[in-house]
């Protein structure tokens, strides 16, 4: 089966032009935002250069810690074990 395409040169040029336009946007937009980061304060939040410090796994001490919470936790664990035993 042979497909004959009319005006293929014009269609190929149009496709190449659109492809060139897309490539130009891909190259120009990051360059412009890189320049504007230093100029416009609204863009400064886009590229954060801050590094958080501290241990993210640290658990804060709870004010309500006491024997009641420990006893309640042990009761819950024992009840779970009781219901899950075969």
- % of the chain exceeding 90 in pLDDT: 17
pLDDT in tens, 6-45: 788 888 899 999 999 999 999 888 888 777 766 655 555 5
Cα 26 to Cα 79: distance, rounded to the nearest angstrom? 60
State if pTM tops 0.95.
no
Name the one residue in this structure whose structure tokens are 């810690």.
65
- List Cα–Cα distances, 85 to 31, 74, 82, in angstroms: 63, 16, 6
For the chain, which residues make up each domain, given as ranges? 8-48
- Residues 80, 86: Cα–Cα separation, whole Å: 12
Query: What's 54's DSSP letter?
Result: S
């Amino acid at each position: 089966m042979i497909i004959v395409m009319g005006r293929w040169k014009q269609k190929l040029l149009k496709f190449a032009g659109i492809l060139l336009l897309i490539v130009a946007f891909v190259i120009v937009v990051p360059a412009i935002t890189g320049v504007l980061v230093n100029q416009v304060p609204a863009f400064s939040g886009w590229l954060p250069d801050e590094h958080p410090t501290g241990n993210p796994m640290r658990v804060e001490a709870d004010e309500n810690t006491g024997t009641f919470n420990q006893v309640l936790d042990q009761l819950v664990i024992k009840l779970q074990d009781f219901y899950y035993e075969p």
